[in-house]
Copies of this chain bind each other. A is one copy, B any other.
Amino acid sequence: MNKKPKIVILGAGYGGIMTASRLIKSNTQQDAEITLVNKHNYHYQTTWLHEPAAGTLHHDKTRMEISSVIDLKKINFIKDSVVEIKKDEKKVILENGEVDYDYLVIGLGSEPETFGIPGVNENSFAIRSVNSVRLLREHIEYMFASYNKEDEKHEDILTFVVAGAGFTGIEFVGELSERVPELCEEYDIDPKKVKIYSVEAAPTALPGFDEELVEYAMNVLESRGVEFKINTPIKEVQDGKVLLNDGEEIKSQTIVWTTGIRGSSIIEDSGFETMRGRVKVEKDLRAPGYDNVFIIGDCALIINEEINRPYPPTAQIAIQQAYTCSKNLKDLISGKEELDVFKPEIQGTVASLGGKEAIGLVGDRKLYGGSASAMKKIIDNKYLFQLGGVPLVLKKGKFNFF
């Protein structure tokens, strides 16, 4: 009697859940036993998290129960946290057990990149998970609620420092600057007392993005009172303040760290060779030396050969990798030797700036304001459609009501 091979997918982020979804669509569960392991019983959309972090969208709009998008009669689901991957023994150690595999898909996501700057993890908030963003939202509201309760009015209560002006940082600043007037109204605070700093070490906000669009974004955000400190590396984060390289310090009770990400430390701790926590995978997305292990999403490093630099880790690429990964898994199981080569197709990049403002680049076309904002919603809805069809779009989708 032939036993079915076991496929284990670690993580139900963009890459993991889409791999599970594609495997079911291609009926791979007939030929393999598929198991999905995830810390939570829900999947969430990392690229939306800046909204619940600022309080402009409820966090439940960014997440969905795994059982609502994946047919759990067709695959196994284990709600547990991964501790270590024993790649030579083909098993995964979980907090409450372990699981064997014949084929493994690693989609364990990312961690904040601190660049070794002291005090970051202890003294700053992250935009990373449903848990972390609802804490940040509550913290921000608590600051506003505190201000009129204090006998001495400390400015740092209403000062918000966002470290990093990449996509997450800019999108969060956009939402926060939209939310501030509401919070001021709610807590009887003069909006002039609120300060939002966007601090970036690189010589520009949104490094690598189209200059004209960056300028547009900065103008929009500055008009809402955001102060940019570009070309300004951070030396240290202390409790209640940020020390800049140039000697200045900014006192703030709310420091949000968005200077980029590195791959999950589980990968490195499990003995894979990594660069900033990411494994430089083969063209078919397998880990070098491990023909039965695929690595996708934020844990995978793919070089853009045109410019000889890694592609930034995005949801778009993770989703595309899931398509290739699931296809290659099915092929492997059915005995094919030639696997598909992964090649990202960048369909467009849009950054929301809060409210109806956004910027975007679709091919060579630059988008501003309303049209970029509409494009952002179309992209978000497209993912929901890929994952759960029309019902999921209707349930969790974003719509403009003009």
Partner-contacting stretch, out of A21-29, A128-136, A193-201? A128-136
Per-residue interface assignment for chain A, residues 103 to 143, with 1 indicating a CB less than 8 Å from any chain B CB and 0 otherwise: 00000000000000000000000000001101101110110
Shortest CB distance A142–B (Å)? 4
Task: Please name all residues of chain B whose beta carbon is closer than 8 Å to the beta carbon of A145 when the two chains form the complex.
Answer: 134-135, 137-139
Task: Name A58's closest neighbour in chain B (CB-CB).
Answer: B186
Task: Please name all residues of chain B whose beta carbon is closer than 8 Å to the beta carbon of A148 when the two chains form the complex.
Answer: 131
**A149 touches B (CB below 8 Å):** yes
CB < 8 Å: which of B134, B138, B139, B149 contacts A135?
B149
A139 to B187, CA, bound (A): 14
Shortest CB distance A123–B (Å)? 15
A142 to B131, CA, bound (A): 11
**A270 touches B (CB below 8 Å):** no
A294 to B142, CA, bound (A): 39
**A219 touches B (CB below 8 Å):** no
Task: Please name all residues of chain B whose beta carbon is closer than 8 Å to the beta carbon of A131 when the two chains form the complex.
Answer: 148-149
**A146 touches B (CB below 8 Å):** yes
Top 7 A-B pairs, shortest CB-CB distance: A138-B145, A138-B142, A135-B145, A131-B148, A131-B149, A134-B145, A135-B149
Shortest CB distance A122–B (Å)? 13
A142 to B138, CA, bound (A): 5
Shortest CB distance A315–B (Å)? 23
CB < 8 Å: which of B142, B149, B187 contacts A142?
B142
Task: Please name all residues of chain B whose beta carbon is closer than 8 Å to the beta carbon of A137 when the two chains form the complex.
Answer: 145
Knowing that A138-B142, A139-B142 are A-B contacts, what are 6 other residue pairs whose CB atoms are under 8 Å apart, sorted by A's residue number?
A131-B149, A134-B187, A135-B142, A138-B145, A138-B146, A139-B145
Shortest CB distance A65–B (Å)? 11
Give 19 pairs: A residue, B residue, CB < 8 Å, sorted on A.
Answer: A131-B148, A131-B149, A132-B149, A134-B145, A134-B187, A135-B142, A135-B145, A135-B146, A135-B149, A137-B145, A138-B138, A138-B141, A138-B142, A138-B145, A138-B146, A139-B142, A139-B145, A141-B141, A142-B142
A139 to B148, CA, bound (A): 14
A135 to B139, CA, bound (A): 11
Shortest CB distance A96–B (Å)? 15
Task: Please name all residues of chain B whose beta carbon is closer than 8 Å to the beta carbon of A139 when the two chains form the complex.
Answer: 142, 145
Task: Please name all residues of chain B whose beta carbon is closer than 8 Å to the beta carbon of A135 when the two chains form the complex.
Answer: 142, 145-146, 149
Per-residue interface assignment for chain A, residues 28 to 52, with 1 indicating a CB less than 8 Å from any chain B CB and 0 otherwise: 0000000000000000000000000
A139 to B142, CA, bound (A): 7
A131 to B153, CA, bound (A): 14
Shortest CB distance A209–B (Å)? 31
A134 to B138, CA, bound (A): 12
Task: Name A126's closest neighbour in chain B (CB-CB).
Answer: B149
Task: Please name all residues of chain B whose beta carbon is closer than 8 Å to the beta carbon of A138 when the two chains form the complex.
Answer: 138, 141-142, 145-146
Task: Name A141's closest neighbour in chain B (CB-CB).
Answer: B138
A149 to B142, CA, bound (A): 17
